[in-house]
Amino acid sequence: MRDGEVLLGERDEAARLSAVRATGLGAVPDLDMDRFAAVVARVLAAPVALVALVDDARQVLPGAFGLAPAWQQQREIPLSHSWQRAVLSGDELVVTDARLDPRVRDSPAIGAPGVVAYAGIPLTDGAGQVLGTLCAIDDRPRKWTRDELDLLADLAEVCSVTLRARAAAAVAEEALTSQRQAQAAALELSARVDAALRRSELLLTASQEFTGTVTLPDVIATVKRLIGGEFQAAHVSVALRDGAAGVRVFGLEGLPAVLASRARFPTTDRVPVSTVLHTGRHLAFADRAELVAAYPDLRPVVKAAGWEATLFTPLLGPTGVIGTLNIAWEHPRPLDVEERAVIVSVAGYVTQAVQRARRLTDRVEAAAILQEAMLTPLPTIDGLQVTARYQPAHNLDQVGGDWYDAVVTGTGSLSLVIGDVTGHDLRAAAQMSQLRSMLRGYLVDRHDPPSALLRRLDQANVTLGARSIATALVAHLQHRPGQPVTMSWSNAGHPVPILIHPEGTVHPLTGRDPLLGVTLRTRRTTRKAVLPPGATLLLHTDGLVERRDQSFDEMTARLHEVLTAHATTGLENLVDTVLDTVPPTDHEDDIAILALRTPDPT
């Protein structure tokens, strides 16, 4: 290397170190940088995430999440432990297993702080100089996906913008104090810095809020709030492909009828949304004249809406454009590059949230159809009142394995069944379907005692390979004219039946055997009781008495109080009252109730 090249390299490094110092960050925690690290850790499900800057003697960590206490407090790493050469190259560094990677396998960082898998994206200043890295770290081997790296790159760009904004703010502060004639320029720069900080905050907020969206209306409401607030937009909507050749627009509420009537249209219509769906390119119109010049047929529509500037951004999914993010203003508004970049990033979050919401909706609808098919109508029995309720969990992303059944057998007895398969997903619902179908067949096959039925069910559950873990209760009731109703039952780990006497006395029918699917050849017991005239029998799943802020015993006592107070209420009203007053409205588990009332001789 010639002397001139050495001197040039030294100057470049001096400029880079000056840019690092201009950020004002060092080996002390910074709230914004810690938030970046926390967002990376949460979004990528990584145990450790860092915002690291490299100076001439060490690597400082103004942003950190998940480090061991000693490193978390120290907030700096010796250059011997950092992968400085790779970091400063300006390329992303992706390591699946550092112990096997020839680039880094000799690094002391593998021992402490325990870096095994690593994904890092450079953080740069306005001149493109590498200041450090935004990285995710795992203590186990991990193959990082392209989607994860792209998301990390998006967050690194936002973090870089924040670092540039800090440096620019420092420059602006110095310029304001150095000369008076630069005040106007400094104020403008300060405004741009504030805007950059706000938009960085917007993207951080978007990454958090869209992660929490569950349904498509959640997604639309979130994007309206974020974009409408920061960009002062008069209108924000999302258009999505509807079938092979259609479009459906969400978010048209409150608009003139000429627009609201356009909630659905074919992709062949000559409108900006169709153009973006076909080309995958952004369309921006700084004022109404530009839009009408390109799409003359839209003149009455935009005039009725009062729009001037409009922007149509593609929502890019893994297989192509799935829709558009549409924004309109009531005044002319050209968008700068930074504003468009922020909107494009938000559109990426919208795409992920829409796809997640659609998958969840499909899954929940499938589970709901399955569960509804399993909850067959109740039989009619002379002299006995029987009713049931099923209430799904409040969270739409959870489906359960609760079920109930009532079967009149050939012997003239009534069999009641209630059960709950562990889990809150489609697998639980499918396992519930299998157990219910097998037990239903056993009930009509021959009149075995309840304990024998549960033993057969448990044996089949294991022998056929399902090994579902579930609670279940089977009860046989005999009702002969002029005689009291008798009940025999067996309980496999299920909440105990509750007998409510007409005068209000609540009598739990105790005695339980192990759950289904736990051990083979479990000994099971058939218990017996006589149900007095006018008494009520209540069977329920555990969702009725589960609550985060109260214990199981407290909730059970609450249930008994309600049953005592309404013992003589009609059976339908009694069950409705229990559902209305015992569980919280946002209960996190499914609830199934099966209730029976014996004849009242009066």
Are residues 186 and 302 both part of a single domain?
Answer: no
Bridging pattern class, strands 283-285 and 385-391: unpaired
Asked whether residue 564 is assigned to any structural domain, the reply reads yes
Cα distance between residue 24 and residue 552, in whole Å: 53
Are residues 458 and 474 both part of a single domain?
Answer: yes
- C-alpha separations of 383 from 326, 576, 596 in Å: 63, 22, 11
Are the CB atoms for 327 and 310 separated by under 8 Å? yes
Asked whether residue 491 is assigned to any structural domain, the reply reads yes
Are residues 516 and 403 both part of a single domain?
Answer: yes
Are the CB atoms for 238 and 354 separated by under 8 Å? yes
Asked whether residue 368 is assigned to any structural domain, the reply reads no
Q: What would the two tokens of residue 153 be?
A: 């790159």
Cα distance between residue 423 and residue 402, in whole Å: 10
Nearest to 579, CA basis, from 536, 535, 537, 545: 545
Q: What would the two tokens of residue 38 be?
A: 């926390």
Are residues 201 and 219 both part of a single domain?
Answer: no
Cα distance between residue 531 and residue 499, in whole Å: 8
Asked whether residue 367 is assigned to any structural domain, the reply reads no
Range of the domain at 501: 375-597
Asked whether residue 187 is assigned to any structural domain, the reply reads yes
Are the CB atoms for 529 and 514 separated by under 8 Å? no
User: Which CATH number covers residue 154?
Assistant: 3.30.450.40
Are residues 384 and 472 both part of a single domain?
Answer: yes
Going by C-beta distance under 8 Å and a sequence separation of 6 or more, which residues neighbour residue 487? 475, 476, 477, 478, 528, 529, 530, 531, 537
- C-alpha separations of 213 from 342, 349, 397 in Å: 20, 11, 11
Asked whether residue 4 is assigned to any structural domain, the reply reads no
Are residues 189 and 271 both part of a single domain?
Answer: no
Pick the last residue of a domain from 168, 191, 208. Answer: 208
The residue assigned the tokens 């840019």 is 19
Asked whether residue 341 is assigned to any structural domain, the reply reads yes
Are residues 178 and 251 both part of a single domain?
Answer: no
User: Which CATH number covers residue 394?
Assistant: 3.60.40.10
Are residues 127 and 231 both part of a single domain?
Answer: no
What angle is formed at CA 194 by the lines to CA 188 and CA 195, rounded to 5 degrees?
90
The phi and psi torsions of 550 (rounded to 5 degrees) equal -140, 150
What is residue 442's DSSP assignment? H
Are residues 100 and 204 both part of a single domain?
Answer: yes
pLDDT below 50 — which residues of the chain? 1-8, 397
Are residues 349 and 401 both part of a single domain?
Answer: no
Per the structure, the count of domains in the chain is 3
Are the CB atoms for 477 and 497 separated by under 8 Å? no
Going by C-beta distance under 8 Å and a sequence separation of 6 or more, which residues neighbour residue 33? 25, 51, 62, 63, 159
pLDDT at 13: 84
Are residues 326 and 178 both part of a single domain?
Answer: no
Asked whether residue 290 is assigned to any structural domain, the reply reads yes
Q: Side by side, which strands form the sheet with 235-241? A: 264-266, 246-250, 235-241, 320-328, 310-317, 283-285
Cα distance between residue 248 and residue 243, in whole Å: 9
Are residues 51 and 187 both part of a single domain?
Answer: yes
Cα distance between residue 286 and residue 132, in whole Å: 37
Length of the chain: 602
Nearest to 43, CA basis, from 136, 121, 159, 141: 136
Pick the last residue of a domain from 357, 385, 416. Answer: 357
List the beta bridge partners of residue 249.
239
pLDDT at 7: 42
Pick the last residue of a domain from 208, 232, 248. Answer: 208
